[in-house]
A and B are shown apart, each in its own frame.
Chain A
Amino acid sequence: MSLSPDEVRHVARLARLALSDDEVAELSPQLSEILGYAEQVGEVAAEDVPPTVHPFALKDVTRPDEPRPSLPREDILAGAPEVEGHRFAVPRIVAEEG
């Protein structure tokens, strides 16, 4: 399939990427070509074949439900671009009323 510039913009929005018009113009044919290549998987008759996500059939890997130390909070916050008190700080998410 081919991805039109509008479809590229739609996917970019889903992926949280702000693409320039130049990037959209370049990506539209490139992504179409890559998808066209990848679509060869559709030639394989695989209806009754189960999908593989791990070569070993691991199931429900859990750790013992016991408390254990985590990394210190200040070490984690030290890498963040903006911190407020003990929290990651972000710009406004919900728009103001009216």
Chain B
Amino acid sequence: MSTGPDLIGSSASELASKLADREVSAREVADAHLDRIAATDGVVAEGDVWASKPADELEAHHVHAFLQVTAAAARAHADDIDARRAAGEELGPLAGVPLALKDLLTMRGVPTTCGSRMLEGWVPPYDATVTELLRDADVVVLGKTNMDEFAMGSSTENSAFGNTRNPWDLDRVPGGSSGGSAAAVAVMQAPLSIGTDTGGSIRQPAALTGLVGAKPTYGTVSRRGLVAFASSLDQAGPFARSVEDAARLQAVIQHHDPRDSTSVSESPPDLLEHLRDGVEGLRIGVVTELQGEGYEPGVAETFQAALSRFEALGAEIVEVSLPHAPYGLPAYYLIAPSECSSNLARFDGVRYGQRVDAPTAEEMNAATRSAGFGPEVKRRIMIGTHALSSGYYDAYYLQASKVRTLIARDFEAAFGSADVLVSPTSPSVAFGLGTKTADPIAMYLNDVATVPASLAGNPALSLPAGLAAAPEAADTALPVGLQIMAPLLRDDLMYRAAWAFEQDLGFTPVPEGRRAVEVAR
């Protein structure tokens, strides 16, 4: 029989096959991961729903990946799966595998906070479509993960409930905004998690925590029940410790949804069928504009080594240009805040969450919003409101949306000479807690390489390319992410390239020394 530590170290694919062979029960798998959460996360492990400790009670060894752990519901779901398996019922490919869900997606009966005080006390009356699909697949949801408030941030330091720590170095950030979902998988609290990516919020934390994280083609995963930040960019996607696991999870959640008017009816070819076909003869385009100045030396060297590895595997490396990519980040920081200012207008103290009383409706709206939103959310609402206001719309939102067209055309042209494109995922390795919070633009620059694919809608993933030292600490060894971008609806190609690279590199996705330490604590 497998023991707890074996189970938490297993990939989703390994667990799925052990479960199918009845070598282990879904309940044992759920319990092993719940024990791991109790030992590492800083939750109060009592009752049906485990709450995370208040920020001022969290200690330096607490990862704080979860905001709530739905322990009783997870155990009951696992028991139900075991019973149905025992009865000979046909179950889905990931049945009984545990997962952590970003707290931006609704789950009926479980508070959704979006990392904000604004929604305190709100219990969603419905499941997000992604949550429904996970339930239909009998994936066991363990709880809701920490994040930058309303998904605005690149470090998870903008959470109203305290920051998440990077399992590779607890004094560093896990990236963001899906930092909780990333940290949970990196520290083996779950083999899988769901994040959301608007400008890089899955790929950048995946890079900083040594994971595989993917943003599917825009429109292929339903946004219903995903609390909107920037509707034309938001997309949910998987985190995992292996390429195959990520592909399997993406396959579960991509589904046309008539209840989301931006959902597309096409889907990519089967993500697993050609996963192991290799990269022999594949043309890999290196994007001129997404390297060089602004990228840390350790990141740049690791990226160059990745190109050599692809070449050794038989791929053809070609240089491609996305001439408008340098305008991606400026365009993003007009489009995303504009859509955010419009989407977050719904938090008015009337329909959900908290209210601060005041004599008139308008004063009540303003008092509620001022008390409920944190500084970064206010900044973005302000930028967006200004950019959409009379006299500025054409120069800001409209011009940025035109630049977006040019970036999409750049991608189309580049895919004429390359099958997939590559770049470093993030210009830096994980940075220290508190080192970028005072400088919004320094924080925004984290997204410089991930934003172009977001604006164009293309699928893109990040996978570990190796380890490098942080520039300020030569004795560190932190994960570096490689970004692979593919044509629209060719998510299968990016997974295929990633799988070949991963097999050759042989990266250990969990930091040395963290595999057992906390279990004993």
A interface residues with partner B (beta carbon < 8 Å): 3, 8, 11-12, 14-19, 23, 27, 30-31, 33-35, 37-44, 46, 49-56, 58, 61, 63, 71-72, 75-76, 78-82, 88, 90-93, 95
Please tell me which one of the listed residues B264, B398, B441 contacts residue A51 in the complex, with CB atoms under 8 A apart.
B398
Q: What's the count of A-B pairs with C-beta under 8 Å?
A: 181
Please tell me which one of the listed residues B262, B348, B382, B400 contacts residue A27 in the complex, with CB atoms under 8 A apart.
B382
Name the CB-closest residue of B to A77: B351
Beyond A15-B382, A19-B370, A30-B440, 13 extra complex contacts between A and B, CB < 8 Å: A11-B385, A16-B362, A18-B370, A38-B383, A46-B403, A54-B219, A55-B458, A63-B259, A76-B125, A79-B124, A79-B125, A91-B357, A93-B360
Check if B232 sits within 8 Å of A54, measured CB to CB. Answer: yes
A8-B139 Cα distance, complex, nearest whole Å: 47
Please tell me which one of the listed residues B264, B365, B441 contacts residue A56 in the complex, with CB atoms under 8 A apart.
B264
- Tell yes or no: B207 within 8 A of A by CB: no
Check if B441 sits within 8 Å of A18, measured CB to CB. Answer: no
Check if B441 sits within 8 Å of A16, measured CB to CB. Answer: no
- Tell yes or no: B248 within 8 A of A by CB: no
- Tell yes or no: B309 within 8 A of A by CB: no
The distance from the CB of B368 to the nearest CB of chain A, in whole angstroms, is 8
Check if B355 sits within 8 Å of A81, measured CB to CB. Answer: yes
Check if A54 sits within 8 Å of B457, measured CB to CB. Answer: yes
With A42-B395, A55-B408 given, is the CB distance from A82 to B330 under 8 Å? no
- 6 A-B Cβ contacts within 8 A? A16-B369, A35-B383, A37-B444, A39-B395, A44-B402, A46-B406
With A15-B341, A51-B404, A54-B262 given, is the CB distance from A40 to B357 under 8 Å? no
With A37-B330, A75-B125 given, is the CB distance from A52 to B405 under 8 Å? yes
SS of B interface (majority): helix
A80-B349 Cα distance, complex, nearest whole Å: 8
With a cutoff of 8 Å between Cβ atoms, the chain B residues found around residue A19 in the complex are: 370, 378
Name the CB-closest residue of B to A89: B350
Check if B330 sits within 8 Å of A41, measured CB to CB. Answer: yes
Name the CB-closest residue of B to A23: B378
Check if B383 sits within 8 Å of A34, measured CB to CB. Answer: yes
A9-B396 Cα distance, complex, nearest whole Å: 20
- Tell yes or no: B367 within 8 A of A by CB: yes
A44-B217 Cα distance, complex, nearest whole Å: 26
Name the CB-closest residue of A to B219: A56
- Tell yes or no: B437 within 8 A of A by CB: no
Check if B401 sits within 8 Å of A51, measured CB to CB. Answer: yes
With a cutoff of 8 Å between Cβ atoms, the chain A residues found around residue B381 in the complex are: 15, 17
Please tell me which one of the listed residues A31, A42, A78, A95 contacts residue B123 in the complex, with CB atoms under 8 A apart.
A78
The distance from the CB of A94 to the nearest CB of chain B, in whole angstroms, is 9
A3-B361 Cα distance, complex, nearest whole Å: 28
Please tell me which one of the listed residues B361, B382, B408 contacts residue A91 in the complex, with CB atoms under 8 A apart.
B361
- Tell yes or no: B312 within 8 A of A by CB: no
Please tell me which one of the listed residues B264, B334, B353, B379 contacts residue A41 in the complex, with CB atoms under 8 A apart.
B334
Please tell me which one of the listed residues B232, B333, B404 contacts residue A38 in the complex, with CB atoms under 8 A apart.
B333
- Tell yes or no: B386 within 8 A of A by CB: yes
With A35-B383, A58-B262 given, is the CB distance from A41 to B441 under 8 Å? no
Check if B405 sits within 8 Å of A51, measured CB to CB. Answer: yes
Check if A17 sits within 8 Å of B369, measured CB to CB. Answer: yes
The distance from the CB of B163 to the nearest CB of chain A, in whole angstroms, is 21
With A46-B399, A71-B126, A91-B358 given, is the CB distance from A31 to B382 under 8 Å? yes
Check if B333 sits within 8 Å of A37, measured CB to CB. Answer: yes
- Tell yes or no: B364 within 8 A of A by CB: yes
With A17-B369, A78-B123, A90-B350 given, is the CB distance from A44 to B399 under 8 Å? yes
With a cutoff of 8 Å between Cβ atoms, the chain A residues found around residue B358 in the complex are: 91
Check if A41 sits within 8 Å of B327, measured CB to CB. Answer: yes
What 1/0 flags go to B86-112 for Cβ under 8 Å of A?
000000000000000000000000000
* 3 tightest A-B CB contacts, nearest first: A55-B457, A51-B401, A81-B355
Check if B355 sits within 8 Å of A82, measured CB to CB. Answer: yes
A39-B334 Cα distance, complex, nearest whole Å: 9
What 1/0 flags go to B251-273 for Cβ under 8 Å of A?
00000001101101010000000
Check if A44 sits within 8 Å of B361, measured CB to CB. Answer: no
Please tell me which one of the listed residues A16, A46, A52 contacts residue B348 in the complex, with CB atoms under 8 A apart.
A16
Check if B379 sits within 8 Å of A27, measured CB to CB. Answer: yes
Please tell me which one of the listed residues B359, B378, B386, B398 contacts residue A3 in the complex, with CB atoms under 8 A apart.
B386
The distance from the CB of A40 to the nearest CB of chain B, in whole angstroms, is 4
